[in-house]
Chain A
Amino acid sequence: MSVQELEKIFQDRIDSEIRIEPRDWMPDAYRKTLIRQISQHAHSEIVGMLPEANWITRAPSLRRKATLIAKVQDEAGHGLYLYSAAETLNISREEMIAQLHSGKAKYSSIFNYPTLTWADMGAIGWLVDGAAIMNQVPLCRASYGPYARAMVRICKEESFHQRQGFEILLTLSRGSADQRRMCQDAINRWWWPSVMMFGPNDESSPHSAQSMAWKIKRFSNDELRQRFVDICAEQVKLLGMTLPDPELSWNEEKQHYDFGAIDWDEFWNVVNGNGPCNKERLAARVQAHEDGAWVREAALAYAGKKRQEKDAA
């Protein structure tokens, strides 16, 4: 069969919502785009553990500490599900990790911001996990089977992340004047980076049309962003706090919130490695990997020895 015929069969299957599985024929560009998208997502889950891990030892109560550990552990699992999904596309785990460590592969820029106070754990759960969920739920219907299945698992686990975050903020919002100030300050710092998590405006994301046709992207960046703003603008009222956007206002005609302009210079600056924590985050990942090398080798040596003993017996 010619490539054109194969491509037609492939696209027909996608159009009729039939999932593509690892051993099925797929265009090279589909494979490459998916590897980039899934591994980037996996890296984000893994790097995303760092800003929160920063507060595990200083959580204000045992309940909060247990919750935060459970959340961070979930994120490690999310990374694993996604790396596994990417591996079915014929890239090795080592190759992906090497790409992350060399800076060739990106991860979500949101994790290049520092976590300055305990309230940041609340803001991250509410806004960052909230934005992630908004992005991820439609991907449960992504055309690539292993990816969609990983997303289903992830989405099931994510909802507690957002709820525990909102609960932290709610508690602070009902506390002392200092606690309320801390709550508002965290929202102020995390709002815009969270809004940026949806990526460039539609007119500046050139690959979107192809990704939509392949159904590895289900809604445009701006659609998802608008949905996120609409929901958060209401939720923030329950906290008695505000979102740091003077232009935020309900538009009766559109039945959506209008919101202010995004600082894309900041966005690209952080993407290109110049955010407040880019170097720190990557250095922490590389060091953890290198420090763990002896464990990986020892486990292999132990497994080899056990096998020999068994064979000899």
Chain B
Amino acid sequence: MSQERWPLWEVFIRSKQGLDHKHAGSLHAADAKMAIENARDVYTRRMEGVSIWVVESRHIHATNPDEAASLYDPANDKVYRHPTFYDLPDELKHM
């Protein structure tokens, strides 16, 4: 018997037109076509989606949570990127 296994796929679903695809879960399948069919069967049995993306899990690159502090550090002290940073009179309208 072959030792090769069906690879793991990540499933992303657009729940309705106009919304982003969102990670729904994962499954094993021999190829992309089967992954999509299986995703339909397990993740959209109740009309949860109008579009499905699948991607083999091994193709996903992720950040390392241990490096989160330094990775996000550049954004940490830039409060001036937020509209609330600016002190303006209450009388100012439509801004």
In the complex, what distance in Å separates the CA atom of A149 from the CA atom of B45? 17
In the complex, what distance in Å separates the CA atom of A149 from the CA atom of B25? 9
Instruction: Tell me if A303 and B30 are in contact (CB < 8 A).
Output: yes
Identify the closest chain B residue to A94 (Cβ). B5
Given A299-B6, A299-B34: A77 and B1 interface contact (C-beta under 8 Å) = no
Interface SS majority for chain A: helix
A313 within 8 A of B: no
Determine how close the nearest CB of chain B comes to the CB of A302; give it in whole angstroms: 7
The contact of A80 among B42, B46, B62, by CB within 8 Å, is B42
In the complex, what distance in Å separates the CA atom of A157 from the CA atom of B43? 11
When distances are taken between beta carbons in the complex, the residues of chain B under 8 Å from A80 are 25, 27, 42
Instruction: Tell me if B5 and A302 are in contact (CB < 8 A).
Output: no
A153 within 8 A of B: yes
Determine how close the nearest CB of chain B comes to the CB of A143; give it in whole angstroms: 15
Identify the closest chain B residue to A85 (Cβ). B25
In the complex, what distance in Å separates the CA atom of A84 from the CA atom of B34? 17
Interface membership of chain A positions 140-153, coded 1 if the CB is closer than 8 angstroms to chain B and 0 otherwise: 00000000011001
The contact of B31 among A87, A92, A306, by CB within 8 Å, is A306
Determine how close the nearest CB of chain B comes to the CB of A232; give it in whole angstroms: 27
When distances are taken between beta carbons in the complex, the residues of chain B under 8 Å from A92 are 5
Instruction: Tell me if B30 and A73 are in contact (CB < 8 A).
Output: no
B87 within 8 A of A: no
Determine how close the nearest CB of chain B comes to the CB of A49; give it in whole angstroms: 14
Instruction: Tell me if A23 and B64 are in contact (CB < 8 A).
Output: yes
When distances are taken between beta carbons in the complex, the residues of chain A under 8 Å from B91 are none
In the complex, what distance in Å separates the CA atom of A260 from the CA atom of B41? 43
In the complex, what distance in Å separates the CA atom of A157 from the CA atom of B46? 9
When distances are taken between beta carbons in the complex, the residues of chain B under 8 Å from A24 are 65
Instruction: Tell me if A93 and B62 are in contact (CB < 8 A).
Output: no
Q: How many residues of B contact A (CB 8 A)?
A: 21
Identify the closest chain A residue to B29 (Cβ). A299
A296 within 8 A of B: yes
When distances are taken between beta carbons in the complex, the residues of chain A under 8 Å from B65 are 21, 23-25
Instruction: Tell me if A302 and B30 are in contact (CB < 8 A).
Output: yes
B28 within 8 A of A: yes
Identify the closest chain B residue to A74 (Cβ). B45
In the complex, what distance in Å separates the CA atom of A303 from the CA atom of B4? 12
Identify the closest chain B residue to A156 (Cβ). B46
In the complex, what distance in Å separates the CA atom of A306 from the CA atom of B33? 11
A297 within 8 A of B: yes
Residue with the highest number of chain A CB atoms closer than 10 Å, among B4, B27, B30, B46 = B30
B66 within 8 A of A: yes
Identify the closest chain A residue to B1 (Cβ). A293
When distances are taken between beta carbons in the complex, the residues of chain A under 8 Å from B51 are none
Determine how close the nearest CB of chain B comes to the CB of A27; give it in whole angstroms: 15
Given A77-B42, A297-B1: A84 and B6 interface contact (C-beta under 8 Å) = no
A-B contact pairs, 12 of them (CB 8 A): A23-B62, A25-B66, A80-B25, A84-B25, A94-B5, A293-B1, A296-B6, A297-B2, A299-B30, A300-B6, A303-B34, A306-B31
| Further pairs besides A93-B5, A149-B25, A303-B34: 7, Cβ < 8 Å | A77-B42, A84-B27, A87-B8, A92-B5, A153-B25, A157-B46, A297-B2
Residues of B at under 8 Å CB distance from A? Answer: 1-2, 4-6, 8, 25-28, 30-31, 34, 41-42, 45-46, 62, 64-66
Which 9 pairs across A and B sit closest by C-beta, in order of nearness?
A299-B30, A303-B31, A303-B30, A77-B42, A84-B26, A24-B65, A300-B30, A23-B65, A297-B2
